Amino acid sequence: MADLSHFDHNAAGNPNNNIFGLPFTEDDASLVLVPVPWEVTVSYKAGTARAPERMFKSGLQIDIFDEEMRDVWKRGFYMREPDKKILLKSDYLRKEAELYINYISQGENISNNKFMCKTLKEVNEGSNFLNKWVYDQTSELLEKGKLVGVVGGDHSTPLGFLKALAEVYPSFGILHIDAHCDLRESYEGFLFYHASIMFNILREVPHVEKLVQMGIRDFSDTEWQYIDNNRNRISVFTNRSIRERQFGGDSWQKITDDIVASLPEKIYISLDIDGLDPKLCPFTGTPVPGGFETEEIYYLFKKINQSGKKIIGFDLCETGISNNEWDENVGARVLFKLCHFLVASN
């Protein structure tokens, strides 16, 4: 364990320390964060590949005192450095993907263009590589007994982590907070598109017994049909259904009780920052009006922990970067809470 006898947790965050200014090494920490600087297939606004390093900087401004979980941080949070090779690969393939998207958006058939066929193949192979890299990184940490969180990057990034968790937990559920269902089988030929992450998880990780989605407010009819065909495995609390219940007099406590009751005993949290109200994350990749306040989400996490159910890991994805660092600030604070709830649950 780290020697905290000389650490002043009331002082300004020390940039020579690790995430949130905490003085832990990877060996000391009970929770290790794996940044994944990847945004190859983002379809609207880019920038999230650089969010982990920007959130690290913003996190130094956070007071680490938490009124409900006062000493949880003493068990140690640590964030690895973003892998520059992964970032460079993302930047290269992102440009390739943009060329491809621009080409097909004009109604062109890629089978008539060998270069575009090669580009699509490279992007899909790159995504396969990324999935394997995330699996290797997280599997190694789980074998060491570490708690793990993935920090994206776009929402395609946690697939490898879910596969690693499936080797530890024979059955678990996912609490998916998002503006989007992310249940597209593929999109524009991209097999590991950020809007396909939940489809890919359900297809490739049979250990996920239940997917509970909340805040959803932008989706396709094919995604809704997929949900209808898989009601035994998917429950959805859409943004509209939640708000209509509140308009009718239901409390947030009652709604969160229903959400928690729909989850199995072991829970993975997948949080796309666009699940929040976009005033909190205006530079996220695909902002949608509606969404949650941070305190609503924190209250839900608190209810999960109070229920006795166990959080086994999380990802935080799609945080944008902005000139005034507002998105990174909000992202860092959400990450801070996720770290506390995960560690407190174990």
Query: Looking at residue 120, which CATH number applies to its domain?
Result: 3.40.800.10
Mean pLDDT of all residues in the chain?
A: 95
How far is Cα 329 from Cα 220, in angstroms, rounded to an integer? 31
User: pLDDT above 90 covers what percent of the chain?
Assistant: 86
Model pLDDT, residue 12:
87
Residue 9 lies in a domain: no
Mean pLDDT to the nearest integer, 22-50: 94
Residue 6 lies in a domain: no
Q: Which two tokens stand for residue 158?
A: 């946690």
Residue 8 lies in a domain: no
The per-residue pLDDT for range 311-335, each reduced to its tens digit, is 999 999 999 999 899 999 999 999 9
Q: Which two tokens stand for residue 78?
A: 């640590």
Q: Residue 243: which pLDDT band, with cuts at 50, 70 and 90?
A: very high
Is-above-0.85 flag for pTM? yes
How far is Cα 178 from Cα 184, in angstroms, rounded to an integer? 14
Model pLDDT, residue 233:
98
The per-residue pLDDT for range 155-191, each reduced to its tens digit, is 999 999 999 999 999 999 999 999 999 999 987 789 9
Domain of 75 in residue numbering reads as 19-344
CB 300 within 8 Å of CB 267: no
Q: In residues, how long is the chain?
A: 346
User: What are the backbone dihedrals phi and psi of residue 56, each rounded to the nearest 5 degrees, phi first?
Assistant: -55, -45
Residue 256 lies in a domain: yes
| Total number of domains constituting the chain | 1
Residue 13 lies in a domain: no
Model pLDDT, residue 107:
77
User: What are the backbone dihedrals phi and psi of residue 142, each rounded to the nearest 5 degrees, phi first?
Assistant: -65, -35
Model pLDDT, residue 177:
98
Model pLDDT, residue 1:
67
- The 8-class DSSP code of residue 122 comes to H
